[in-house]
Chains A and B, each alone.
Chain A
Amino acid sequence: MSLVVFSLLLFTYYSVWVIILPFMDSDHILHTYFLPREYSVILPGIAAVILLLCIGAFTAVIMWKNRKPKKVD
């Protein structure tokens, strides 16, 4: 259930950040809760890179553990 709540929160925050904030005036109080707009592109990019790193590291560890030495006659 916490995963559902987390994904809902993330979706709401990101939606407000990307879609609703450009239509608010610059001196609206809502802007204080959000980072500058460049970060709305940079942060998901970093998250994607970290995800790919984790998947690659996991695959490498599993393949390393399963290597078989060559048989010697």
Chain B
Amino acid sequence: MTKLLEWLFGVSLVLAAWAVVSFDLLKLRLPQSYREAAWPMPLYLLVSFGCYSLGTVGYRVATFNDCDEASAELLGQIQEAKQDLRKKGLKI
């Protein structure tokens, strides 16, 4: 059983459960409020996944550390490279 087949099987199980609850396919006659809460579930999961992605990106951008040592090292290397190239005749 490949991973793709496993995922498809799991997804179709979840979809079947959702369809049974939303459209009353087994004539279970659940209370109306449960059906009302269940039928937007795929869209709700998509929206919450989007919110989670957005929040994670925002959090990691906000807590990204400055690398002062690396910045100083890089500036020094740029100066070195410029001097080296000037010696070899390139006009900077």
Interface residues of A (CB under 8 A from B): 1-4, 6-8, 10-11, 14-15, 18-19, 22-23, 37, 40-41, 44
Contacts and interface: CB of A to CB of B under 8 A. Distances in A.
Given A7-B55, A7-B58, A40 B48 contact: no
Interface footprint category on B: 20 to 34
B33 A18 contact: no
Main secondary structure of the interface of B (DSSP, over half): helix
B40 A11 contact: no
Contact of B58 (A2, A14, A18, A40): A2
Nearest to A8: B55
Nearest to B32: A22
Contact of A3 (B32, B41, B44, B54): B54
30 contacts: A1-B58, A1-B59, A3-B62, A4-B58, A4-B59, A4-B62, A6-B54, A7-B51, A7-B54, A7-B58, A8-B51, A8-B55, A10-B51, A11-B48, A11-B51, A11-B55, A14-B44, A14-B47, A14-B51, A18-B41, A18-B44, A19-B44, A22-B32, A22-B33, A22-B36, A22-B37, A23-B33, A40-B40, A41-B40, A44-B47
Main secondary structure of the interface of A (DSSP, over half): helix
Interface of B: 32-34, 36-37, 40-41, 43-44, 46-48, 51-52, 54-55, 57-59, 61-62
